[in-house]
Amino acid sequence: MNKRLNKLNPYPFENLRTLLKNIDNTNANYGYIPINLSIGEPKHASPPIVKNTIIDSLYGLSIYPSTKGDVALREVICKWIKNRYKIGSVDAESQVLPALGSREALFSFTQIVIDSDSDSIVICPNPFYQIYEGATLLAGAKPYYINLNQENNFSYDWDSIPENIWKKTKLVFVCSPGNPAGNVINLDEWKKIFYLSDKYGFIIASDECYSEIYDETITPPLGGMQAADIIGLKDYNNLVVFSSLSKRSSLPGLRSGFIAGDSKLLSKFLLYRTYNGSAMGPVVVSASIAAWSDEEHVKENRKLYTNKINAVLPILQKVLDVTRPQASFYLWAKTPVVSDITFTKELYKKTSVTVLPGSFLARESLSGNPGNNRIRIALVSSLEECVEAANRIVNFVKSNI
């Protein structure tokens, strides 16, 4: 048995289930409908164009899918990248690979980057999407956490990382828009990380799964390939980006996304995938082509999320320190008590509203756990449920704290 499995931490939602499983809230909340805002699972309706395409594509189940991915899908993804990020050229043959969601791609890509015999370090934002850490540990590397705090607008303080860490770093994960704070990496920050990558030779893995969830009255979030193109890094050297249909198109069950960027890295990634059996089946391919080809349902999604943030934020700001995210559908709120875990337990017990303790999403570092005294609120339910949950939270704080 692989001993590295023993290094894995329980997943945040496993911790949450353990935290809440013995709480009896039936009497206290008689008449309250449970509202779960803990997980970033979109509840918006799936696009009809995707549903219809799935039905029409069942004929292809008798054919083994290509590991490299269907040519038509790769071309559609390239077209989407070029249109979305105003990039002149992306090669469907060498710079894009479809993936079974970003989780699979992020995990698998880490395995090709890390030489388990080396003393490698992988830099992770803190708090973070837990796959970064799990993939790092199972690859045989050591994670190094860089705290994203409100004091620095949840941005990456690259200067805080010592020289001896940089020299051992093989991979840097960035998430923009960020999970959970919704921070967006700007062009100057991208220039800094590209400079450091050139200096130390590490690879940048940019998780951009929330890139399409933003208020349309502002500029869309800058992407990694877009930033590279702007400053003249046309070959995207040592850069790969990950995207998905889960949030963009409310299709988390489809398990479809892509990885794009440096063709040299994607060539190695394709070799790895040839053996680990992660080819995308024809039904998912057809549905993905339909989804990436349509922007109308994405615009509707944005409006729904923007309306929810506009409605919920002023309600919660009556009792919580919470600001508008630059993008994504999360609110990263400070709790008025020290323990985010206690807040979550008592809130669930007395209101049947479930949120996620911030400390479950982060790790202790030299400067503490940046998730302490915070909760993540995922505005994925209907507008009515989100407003109801916000009002329950306000009443809970006023009555109990």
CATH at 239: 3.40.640.10
pLDDT of residue 95 exceeding 70, the answer is: yes
Domain identity same for 111 and 232: yes
- Rounded (10°) CA dihedral 256, 261, 264, 270: 0
- Per-residue model confidence as pLDDT tens digits over 110-134: 999 999 777 999 999 999 999 999 9
Say if residue 223 is in the same domain as residue 76: yes
Residue 250 shares a structural domain with residue 364: no
Same domain, 74 and 213: yes
What does DSSP assign to residue 44?
Answer: S
Task: Indicate the DSSP class of residue 135.
Answer: H
State which of 274, 294, 314 marks the end of a domain.
Answer: 294
The pLDDT of residue 50? 86
Point out which residues pair with 96 in neighbouring strands: 260
State the average pLDDT for the chain.
Answer: 95
Counting the structural domains of the chain, the total is: 2
SS3 content of the chain, % helix, strand, coil (to 5): 45, 15, 40
pLDDT of residue 80: 99
Same domain, 215 and 330: no
User: Both 237 and 196 in a single domain?
Assistant: yes
Residue 377 sits in a domain whose CATH number is 3.90.1150.10
Quick count: other Cβ atoms within 10 Å of Cβ 342?
12
Provide the percentage of residues in the chain whose pLDDT is more than 90.
86
**Per-residue model confidence (pLDDT) at position 26:** 72
Residues 131 and 212 in one domain: yes
The domain in which residue 36 lies consists of 3-45+297-400
Question: pLDDT value at position 24?
Answer: 80
Mean pLDDT of 91-116: 95
For 339-398, the pLDDT digits (tens) are: 999 999 999 999 999 999 999 999 998 888 999 999 999 999 999 999 999 999 999 999
Which pLDDT tens digit goes with each residue over 130-176?
999 999 999 999 999 999 999 999 999 999 999 999 999 999 999 99
What would you measure as the largest C-alpha separation in the chain, in angstroms? 62
Average pLDDT rounded to a whole number, residues 319-346: 96
> CA of 108: how far to CAs of 175, 188, 194, 291, in Å?
17, 29, 23, 24
pLDDT for the residue numbered 276: 85
pLDDT at 230 over 80: yes
Q: Note the pTM of the prediction, 2 decimals.
A: 0.96
| 150 and 245 assigned to the same domain | yes
Of 294, 326, 347, which residue is a domain's last?
294
pLDDT value at residue 239: 99
Q: What is the pLDDT of residue 27?
A: 66
Contact 170, 202 (CB under 8 A): yes
- Are 173 and 104 members of one domain? yes
pLDDT confidence tier of residue 262, bands split at 50, 70 and 90: very high
Q: What is the DSSP letter of 7?
A: G
Note whether 164 and 309 are same-domain residues: no
pLDDT at 265: 99
State whether 203 and 284 are in the same domain: yes
Task: Name the domain boundary from 238, 269, 294.
Answer: 294
Which tens digit of pLDDT belongs to each residue from 4-63?
999 999 999 999 999 999 888 776 676 789 999 999 999 998 898 887 788 777 777 777
Same domain, 110 and 242: yes
